[in-house]
Amino acid sequence: MTRFIFFMTVFLITPYTVHAKLPDFGPDGLKGLTEKQVEDIDKGKIVFSTTDKSLEKEDKKEALIEAVLVFDTPVEETWRLLAKTEDQIQYLKEIKELNIINQGENDNINEFKLKVLFFTLVYRVHHMFEKENLYFHWTLDPTFENDLADLKGFWKFYPYEGDRTLVRYGSDVSLKKVPDWVEALFKKGGTEKALESVKRYVDSGGTWHK
């Protein structure tokens, strides 16, 4: 079960083929957070939620995941580490293969192969980077025969006190041709364990590997 949670969370961190609207979390990234949530992230906890959209439409099942956390690294270092999307294979255990299909100045396309339980999925992700906004986002490469129905997501970075980085994350995943228990596990299990791996990797300056 834990392995599947890691598997689903790979979708989060791996931009749209059209220009995605920059999310508004306020100038400091704290917009919408309660005082308790701010206290939690300041202590190193991950605050996240899964919004139940579970709409079954055209053989797609959707779940919106949002998270906020603080990395113990400066914003430039955090950006450098997470924007190297090809390095996800070093810290997300369910990625079995990762290939760079295309590398541009402000975007790339990576191909991922994941294997968990009896599922093997291959899909390509188009990442688009807006360094001037400390923001990058992603979507599936529509030119490839992906094993996912849809995938969209983003990371938004903010300088935070103590020379750290606050990040806001969002991902919308649509699954196809999976059993109901898989969808239920995805919504129930969430993404905390995989995000913990991301945090360990970034906080270590990229030295921690799976």
User: Cβ(90)–Cβ(115) under 8 Å?
Assistant: no
pLDDT tens, per residue, the chain with 210 residues: 445 444 455 554 544 333 468 999 999 999 999 999 999 999 999 998 755 554 444 445 555 789 999 999 999 999 999 999 999 999 998 899 999 999 999 999 999 998 766 778 899 999 999 999 999 999 999 999 998 888 899 999 999 999 999 999 998 877 676 666 665 555 445 467 788 999 999 999 999 999
User: Cβ(167)–Cβ(158) under 8 Å?
Assistant: yes
What residues contact 116, with CB distance under 8 A and at least 6 apart?
3, 4, 6, 7, 94
Nearest to 11 by CA among 130, 137, 106, 153: 153
| pTM reported for the whole predicted model | 0.84
Q: How far apart are CA 107 and CA 17, in angstroms?
A: 10
CATH fold for the domain made of 2-203: Alpha-D-Glucose-1,6-Bisphosphate; Chain A, domain 4 (3.30.530)
